Amino acid sequence: MNRLSPRLQTLLFFFIMMFTLVLAGLAGYLLRGMVDRSQAQYPIFDEVVRLLDRYSLNPVPEKTQLEYGMIRGMVATFNDPYTNFVDPPHHEVQTQVLEGKFGGIGVRMEWDEKGQLRLYPMPDSPAVQAGVLEGDILVRVGELKIEPKMDFTLIQAAVRGPVGEPVTITLQRALDGRVEDVAIVRAEISLPSTTWNVLPDEPTLGIIHIASIAATTPDEVQAAVKDLRERGVSGFILDVRNNGGGLVDAGVNLARLFLSEGVVIEQQSKGQPVKQFLVEKEGALAKDTPLVILVNGNSASATEIFAGALQAQGRARLVGQPTFGKDLVQSVFTLSDGSSLHVTTAHWWVPGHTVPLQPDVTVDAAAEEAAWLRAAAEALKP
């Protein structure tokens, strides 16, 4: 075997050493850069936290709360009131409202004058079955201690949860002051968006109050019309005053109930062509359902989709005040910890219409309720 000369061996050793040193230096440089970038990703934020930790009389909030605060500040720089960050409890309750149902124990909760949270169970609810009595005081939900006037949504989120799963609440009994734990298995609780009644002075007219536009709203409105018809009603007032909206698809589907054909709305998202939402088949209430819609300055978003589509096609007259004027769509992105980011992602319009919607019959905003109903009844006449 040929052996390398001493001179070549020295050169090869020198080359290997230099190559090793270069690799080590490059690795160190890259690693230092990664560490520096990690440490300096938010240098001013880290500096502020250190200063607060050192000098503030108040304790520094935990890491999650600092992170939430940082996100809220970042989102605020968009100067869009509809792009916002929602923490987990509030996101959970908002989602339940839009779904029209939730897993719960079936109680109404109200603060009393002493800052105690009183429970009032619904008939035949899981709470009643577990022995909760009217006026019992809620002391604790699991590990959450109830403090006077604490965030009500936080308490709601703690009481609610998956259907079929138990929740343990601690009660102070209204009758004798005794404190005890009660385990209750959650059941599905409906959260209706719609209520209705026959007008007392107009037995042929019915009013349907729609508080929000949830996934269940179209079915609820259909049920309301059916019930009122069976009670002799022939004209309908749909009351969407103070209805801030809800789901765009539900608003479109609600409009489809009352329309025979045509375009409900058009919508455009970032970088996408215009999308049309059509009436694909004649709605179940498109005929033989005379109606007017009560609106005011708090009627917004999906509510304006519904009212605007019916007004544009001459299907219903609007009575009241100009609407709020919100023609933007927010997409909700649920984050890994149960919080959510709401981002304005699209713009919608009713063809030939603009928002705020203008009423066909104006009612003074300060008028008594009887005046609003009289105006609606007059607008229903042929």
Tokens found for residue 170:
């601690």
Confidence of residue 27 (pLDDT cuts 50, 70, 90): very low
Tokens found for residue 365:
């905003």
In this structure, are 105 and 221 located in the same domain? no
What count of other Cβ atoms lies within 10 Å of the Cβ of residue 132?
23
Mean per-residue pLDDT for 285-301?
A: 96
This prediction's pTM: 0.81
Mean per-residue pLDDT for 226-242?
A: 97
Residue type, 161: G
Q: What is the DSSP string of 279-308?
A: --S--TTSSS--EEEEE-TT--THHHHHHH
Mean pLDDT estimate for the chain: 91
In this structure, are 174 and 272 located in the same domain? no
Q: Return the minimum-mean-pLDDT range out of 45-49, 195-199, 293-297, 308-312.
A: 45-49
Alpha-carbon span 266 to 276, nearest angstrom: 5
- Percent of the chain scoring above 70 in pLDDT: 90
Q: Minimal CA–CA distance to 346: which of 205, 217, 210, 249?
A: 249
Total number of domains in the chain = 3
Alpha-carbon span 310 to 286, nearest angstrom: 10
Predicted local confidence at residue 3, as pLDDT: 52
In this structure, are 228 and 310 located in the same domain? yes
Q: Which ranges in 259-368 belong to alpha helices (H)? A: 302-312
In this structure, are 353 and 272 located in the same domain? yes
Confidence of residue 9 (pLDDT cuts 50, 70, 90): low
Residue 244 domain flag: yes
Between 67 and 14, the higher pLDDT residue: 67
- Percent of the chain scoring above 90 in pLDDT: 83
pLDDT digits (tens, 9 = 90+) for 88-109: 999 999 999 999 999 999 999 9
In this structure, are 177 and 208 located in the same domain? no
pLDDT digits (tens, 9 = 90+) for 248-258: 999 999 999 99
**Which of these three, 175, 190, 205, is where a domain ends?**
190
Domain that residue 55 falls in: 43-77
CA end-to-end span of the chain, whole Å? 113
Confidence of residue 203 (pLDDT cuts 50, 70, 90): very high
Confidence of residue 22 (pLDDT cuts 50, 70, 90): very low
Residue type, 76: A
pLDDT digits (tens, 9 = 90+) for 114-155: 999 999 999 999 999 999 999 999 999 999 999 998 999 999
Q: Please state whether beta strands 137-141 and 117-121 pair in parallel, antiparallel, or not at all (unpaired).
A: antiparallel
DSSP 356: S
Confidence of residue 46 (pLDDT cuts 50, 70, 90): confident
DSSP 359: P
Confidence of residue 43 (pLDDT cuts 50, 70, 90): confident
pLDDT digits (tens, 9 = 90+) for 209-224: 999 999 999 999 999 9
In this structure, are 68 and 136 located in the same domain? no
CA distances from 264 to 66, 105, 360 (A): 43, 39, 19
In this structure, are 51 and 148 located in the same domain? no
**Which of these three, 136, 155, 190, is where a domain ends?**
190
Residue 47 domain flag: yes
In this structure, are 204 and 149 located in the same domain? no
In this structure, are 168 and 234 located in the same domain? no
In this structure, are 298 and 272 located in the same domain? yes
What count of other Cβ atoms lies within 10 Å of the Cβ of residue 164?
10
In this structure, are 324 and 177 located in the same domain? no
Q: Minimal CA–CA distance to 295: which of 268, 273, 264, 316?
A: 316
Residue 320 contacts by C-beta under 8 Å, 6 or more apart in sequence? 241, 294, 295, 296, 299, 359, 361, 362, 363, 372, 375
Question: Is residue 170 exposed (0-12), middle (13-18) or buried (19+ Cβ within 10 Å)?
Answer: middle
Q: Give the H/E segment covering residue 268.
A: strand 263-269
Cα torsion 99, 100, 104, 105 to 10°: value is 180
In this structure, are 137 and 235 located in the same domain? no
Residues paired with 10 in a beta bridge: none
Confidence of residue 44 (pLDDT cuts 50, 70, 90): confident
Residue 90 domain flag: no
What count of other Cβ atoms lies within 10 Å of the Cβ of residue 106?
21
